[in-house]
């Protein structure tokens, strides 16, 4: 990799279950341009093996166009624990330390060997009973150290390591910084391979986060069972459905695949509905008027099925709409939204977001 210029951000490295994606951005006067991007397909068993991860990352970072040796990465998903707790209101300067102490006291399994962070989610209750709601994120220190060691062995500098949820939200956060959006709720579904994150924001601040144990791999399982085929063929059928157009709806296999996954998606929609209800009741706020879906296993078919069950508009997110990608990415890909690239883009934005958009008047 060439030497890093002063206006170039880190390489956002998203190590997913079926692909590793890398994105790097360049600062401009108005925001950023896409400097380089690349991906390499992997198998779910690959990402469970740090040696295989090492080899894949080494390969992808050798792609022409990436600049410098700084990378931003996520904490491995399966290692992350998410909990909620409430505390009395206090000054922000005192909240962080008090929240960490309280989290270790309340959650016994997180006392030893875990790195813990707490995100303020908002105020619940009223008047004298008002409390601070917090989202507690915890991961084993050993898991983090192993991933960092793998990166160090590649000769790169890890500038940040964070939960997938915060990286996923960052591209959308940029578009929610107008004053008129300050108190507007927005719902996001990060539909992954192993699980799904439901995230609700109030303006550009995360107010709710929950992980649901439903993902693309569960769709493959029901397709394999209902259509009586090996799991690898079921995965191919799901990807074929993902790429299908209205003209192909009469295709028998596509129709059968859609029918097979519908019950699973309906269950996911129920989980999303419960999340929307919890947010509305807890914070005494209006429910989000629509849901944005993105992530490794997201596609328009899943969005339509969730919308049918949820009775709320669901659209596929277009994370790259915030940057200049003309010429760097095919227009057909941009039109599709590139939902699988959301987390990688969010990681790449980590150091440049303060230059992209501060709070502005509506």
Is 180-317 the same fold as 8-74+320-356? Answer: yes
Task: Quick: pLDDT tens for 322-345.
Answer: 555 555 565 556 666 688 999 999
Q: Output 71 or 337, whichever has higher pLDDT.
A: 71
What per-residue confidence (pLDDT) applies to 334? 61
- Report yes or no: 280 and 237 within 8 Å, Cβ to Cβ: no
What per-residue confidence (pLDDT) applies to 336? 61
Rounded to the nearest integer, the mean pLDDT of the chain is 85
Query: How far is the CA of 148 from the CAs of 69, 112, 161, 282, in angstroms?
Result: 14, 20, 9, 37
Task: Quick: pLDDT tens for 90-139.
Answer: 888 888 889 989 998 889 888 889 999 999 998 888 777 889 999 999 99
Pick the CATH number of 180-317 from 1.20.1250.20, 3.30.1450.10, 3.30.420.40, 3.40.1440.60: 3.30.420.40
Of the given ranges (42-46, 142-146, 226-230), which has the lowest mean pLDDT? Answer: 42-46
What CATH class has 8-74+320-356? alpha beta
- Whether the per-residue pLDDT at 38 is higher than 80: the answer is yes
Nearest to 207 by CA among 124, 112, 148: 124
Q: Which sign, positive or negative, has the C-alpha torsion 154, 158, 162, 166?
A: negative
Domains of the chain by residue range: 8-74+320-356, 81-138, 180-317
Torsion of CA 260, 78, 268, 16, to 10 degrees: -60
């Amino acid at each position: 990799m060439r030497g890093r210029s002063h206006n170039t951000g880190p390489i956002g490295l998203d190590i997913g279950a079926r692909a590793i994606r890398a994105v790097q951005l360049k600062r401009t006067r108005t925001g950023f341009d896409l400097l380089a991007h690349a991906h390499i397909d992997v198998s779910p068993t690959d990402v469970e093996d740090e040696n295989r991860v090492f080899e894949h990352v080494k390969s992808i970072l050798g792609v022409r166009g990436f600049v410098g040796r700084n990378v931003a990465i996520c904490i491995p998903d399966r290692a992350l624990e998410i909990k909620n707790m409430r505390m009395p209101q206090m000054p922000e300067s005192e909240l962080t330390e008090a929240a960490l102490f309280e989290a270790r006291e309340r959650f016994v399994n997180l006392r030893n060997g875990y790195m813990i962070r707490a995100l303020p989610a908002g105020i619940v209750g009223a008047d004298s009973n008002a409390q601070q709601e917090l989202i507690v994120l915890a991961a084993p220190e050993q898991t983090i150290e192993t991933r960092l060691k793998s990166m160090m062995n590649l000769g790169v500098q890890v500038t940040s390591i964070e939960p997938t949820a915060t990286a996923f939200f960052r591209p959308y956060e940029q578009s929610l910084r107008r004053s008129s959006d300050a108190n507007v709720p927005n719902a996001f579904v990060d539909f992954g391979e192993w699980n799904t994150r439901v995230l609700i924001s109030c303006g550009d601040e995360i107010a709710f986060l929950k992980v649901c144990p439903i993902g693309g791999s569960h769709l493959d399982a029901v397709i394999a069972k209902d259509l009586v085929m090996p799991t690898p063929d079921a995965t191919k059928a799901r990807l074929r459905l993902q790429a299908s157009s209205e003209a192909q709806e009469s295709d028998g296999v596509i129709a059968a695949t859609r029918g097979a996954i519908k019950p699973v998606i309906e269950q996911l929609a129920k989980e999303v509905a419960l999340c929307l209800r919890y947010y509305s009741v807890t914070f005494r706020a209006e429910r989000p008027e629509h849901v944005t879906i993105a992530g490794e296993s997201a596609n328009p078919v899943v969005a339509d099925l969730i919308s049918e069950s949820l009775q709320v508009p669901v659209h596929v997110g277009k994370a790259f709409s915030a940057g200049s990608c003309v010429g760097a990415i095919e227009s057909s890909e941009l039109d599709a939204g590139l939902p699988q690239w959301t987390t990688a883009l969010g990681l790449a934005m980590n150091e440049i977001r303060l230059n992209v958009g501060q709070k502005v008047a509506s």
